[in-house]
Structure 1
Amino acid sequence: MEPRIETLTPERWTDLFQTAERLVAHLEMRDSYAVDEAEFADWKAGRAVDPGDREAWWEPWWHGAIAAAVARGVSVRRARIVSEPVTEYIRFEHAVTYTNVEAGEEVRWLPRRLASDLVLPGNDFWIFDDRLVVFNHFTGDGDALGNELRDEEAVVELCSAAFAQVWERAMAHEKYRLT
């Protein structure tokens, strides 16, 4: 079956976070994403955004949706599986993860060498309350192609189990040291 790929709007993402009741979990497994984005180019050029200048980096629709979910008691977790030594893009992600943490996410990192015996889906995903999976599709270069929404029990169970195993093995953002 060919997946139905669509691009979720900020309003749709916000709605997903607003309807979450317990847990929103995100698993990232790529070593680079959208490497031509301006924020990455600025970081590479030494023009990183000041973490203290919240207005410069806070995206009200994205960070606001996460913060609102966390304020309602929803746990928002992000786990990243990364190759080591890490890519330049992962160094950038690590440097800007303060935005995720400030919004209320718990973030953990798992070196890929520690994930070899895990059963993982083929794409990054978000899972909402063990009821809906949103797969993220990318080109080989890391550009976003869109999202695929799935609610079949077997798909939800696979992603829930995969995330739980990664989360258990991964280390907290503040403890993970880049190699």
Structure 2
Amino acid sequence: MENTQTMLKMYLQHLIQPGDQVIDATAGRGKDTLFLAECVGPEGRVFAFDIQEEAIQSTRELLAAHKMLDRVALFQESHTEIGRLVPQGIRAAVFNLGYLPGSSQTIITGPETTLRAVNDTLKLLVAKGAIMLTVYRGHSRSLEEANTLNAYAAELSKKDFHVLQGMYLNQGETSPYWLTIQKNRGDHS
């Protein structure tokens, strides 16, 4: 969530309360992980995932520089491991899809792994909890990933979930867009 994602950050700041548990499903360079650590406060917990050692190291260094490392559990694992490694009771989750900024575009998120991670995360959310996905459409499988996510989100029960999509109309067809999935009520495994 760079500066262009100001609205998403404002929503998350309103949603996340001190002491909450949240997920950064794609830690990247650590900016979202740091933001989430600030939101949950000293009693909260962030579960941050990335498959790349470079990403985990960047995130660790950023958190240490801001004295927030103790609020975060870092996992050099795929976000497909969320269902195995994260407890119930998640207030919010953030996904930034695509590739590690400033790195090779050969390691990317894909529709199969992202869909599994989103599905597992939905099961961990508390009522009124939400997943925020920023979908970047500039990598080799981005269109397939976007179409898969949109189809999945469109099929979610409207009784159980609210799904919103936002996009920049003035930034071209391949600009990033976001999906927000909010859980309306209790457990729906």
TM-score category (smaller protein): 0.3 to 0.5
Q: Which has the higher contact order (CA 8 A, sep 6+)?
A: 1
**TM-score normalised by length of structure 1:** 0.42
Q: TM-score, normalised by structure 2?
A: 0.40
